[in-house]
Structure 1
Amino acid sequence: MSVARTVFRESRRAFSKACYAGYTIYKDEGALTISVAPPSIRDNGRYKSVVRKGVLQLDLAKRIEEPGDNRRFDFKNKVTMNLSVGQCGELISPFTLPLEFNTNRLDKGKAIFKNYSMILDRKDETQDVYVTLHERDLGPENQSEEPTNTKSDQRSSQSEEPTNTNSAQKSREVVSVPLTLAELAILRSLVSYSIPHLVGFDKVLQSERIEVDNQYRNDQSVAKPSFQSRSSGSLPDASLWGSHE
């Protein structure tokens, strides 16, 4: 009975490989989607290893301006911010606003690099936290693709290099999505849950369970659990409890 239940769990995990999930927050200003890009796993026959950790993807898309009450969003031109495991820790740990993340992306249409800054901050007297995306073109001297940096990393780079005022003037706000305290709590909960998947810990536990399951099915010398049932009409006799004289 326990063996059959284990086999069912393994087959159910096999179906989960084709499952894609994302959480989207729609607002009048724009939309924010959170999803996970799983790590890359290498299987050499004897064991599996994580060759590249996963990232948390935050997609921001602005609302399409059109008459009427219908809300449509420009997901075709969305901007994706990839957050590493360490940056996910900044989102779930107690932080002070503003919180900023930066990344450089290649604009294939214009063949230039653009810097995107995602800033979490409050804009008004409400408790809403705005996720604002800024964009600016990089000059020829900064045409290099870099990984996503946090605000602390940006301070260290600014102390070493002078600020380019011409590039700063080209900065513009792409989209700003307000989050309520409840939506921010959901976002942080999803980030916290995704961290073990980003580093491949769930794959390790899954491999150990499958290895034990295969041992029961393939090794005939392993004693499988057996169960004996008593007929419904019989009652416990004296031999069950022992004699009392």
Structure 2
Amino acid sequence: MLKLSRFLPSRWRVARNEQARNFLLRKATKIKDTFWLSAFSSQHGISTSGPDLVANGNFSGRRFAQYTIFKGKAALSVSPKLPSFCIMDSGSSRVDRKGGVMLTFWPAVGQRKYDWQKKQVFALSPTEVGSLISLGPDESCEFLHDPSMKSSLEGQVKKSLSVTPLGNSSGYFLNLNVVNTVQKTNERFSLPVTKAEFAVMRTALSYVLPHIMGWDQVIGPRLPNIPQNTPRQRREVLPDPDFEWGR
């Protein structure tokens, strides 16, 4: 049989190779479809977007994931923000911009509807993350932020986030107040967080803490630099409340 294959016409061999290539492409497409279906179904309780895929099927290198809580008056999304590093003259790298945990609030505008354009973001530092992790069932805490601190715009925008117990160790109440003296606005976001929801937040915050500090890059294995494709324009991934309200 091997001897006969040597005398087959070259056109037949080319056609056979083309069929094999098309078969592998169809398999690859099914793999991508399976990946997207699994990422889509994982949004039940946790709103997750898998790695972006470019036209040739390669990863673009960026991943987006957040834990979202939907309540009657507001929605809350929790997501990590990793630090950025810069290269020093010695060839070593150090943290250039610190990481944190982003709390994003959206107001409710109707039953199971939220205004995705009127969001407010509160960035937690590693120390503030530690305050939430160590918070007792009957304890409370408050954080005050001025995004323009130590600049000429200091005092124009003030943000305050308070976390207070609901009582009977059933959870916490989160209140965000944003005062803008320039626009003369005062926005308030309030939502209760159950004991189970806060347990998810506490566990996630404990896991992500060394990552937002950059310590995982210091003590973890160092991977070689792999050239990536040109980054595509970032697309904001909005949480879908239907998964939470439909349970």
Q: TM-score, length-normalised on structure 2?
A: 0.56
User: 1: distance between equivalents of 2:208 and 2:74?
Assistant: 24
CA contact (8 A) 1:57 1:83 kept: yes
User: 2: distance between equivalents of 1:181 and 1:19?
Assistant: 28
CA contact (8 A) 1:32 1:60 kept: yes
Q: Identify if the C-alpha distance between structure 1 residues 104 and 210 changes in structure 2 by more than 3 Å, giving closer, same or farther.
A: closer
- The corresponding residue for 1:75 is 116
- The corresponding residue for 1:97 is 139
| More contact order relative to length (CA 8 Å, sep ≥ 6) | 1
CA contact (8 A) 2:169 2:195 kept: no
- The corresponding residue for 1:198 is 212
CA contact (8 A) 1:58 1:81 kept: yes
- The corresponding residue for 2:38 is none
Equivalent runs, 1:1-245 vs 2, <5 Å: 17-44=61-88, 46-65=91-110, 69=111, 71-95=112-136, 96-105=138-147, 113-122=156-165, 127-138=170-181, 174-206=188-220, 208-210=221-223
User: 1: distance between equivalents of 2:165 and 2:135?
Assistant: 16
Q: Identify if the C-alpha distance between structure 1 residues 120 and 16 changes in structure 2 by more than 3 Å, giving closer, same or farther.
A: farther
Name structure 1 gaps, 5 residues minimum: 1-11, 107-111, 140-169, 212-245
Q: Percent identity?
A: 30
For residues 95-136 of structure 1, the C-alpha deviation after alignment (integer angstroms, 9 at most, x for no partner) is 453211111247xxxxx8222211111356682311111233
Amino acid at match of 1:190: A
User: 2: distance between equivalents of 1:63 and 1:175?
Assistant: 9
Amino acid at match of 1:39: P
User: 2: distance between equivalents of 1:172 and 1:127?
Assistant: 29
RMSD (CA atoms): 3.4
Amino acid at match of 2:93: K
For residues 49-107 of structure 1, the C-alpha deviation after alignment (integer angstroms, 9 at most, x for no partner) is 21222011101111013xxx4x121221111111111111111114453211111247x
Amino acid at match of 1:202: D
Return the offset for 1:15. Answer: 5.2
Larger Rg: 1
CA contact (8 A) 1:102 1:118 kept: yes
CA contact (8 A) 1:132 1:173 kept: no
Question: How many residue pairs get matched?
Answer: 162
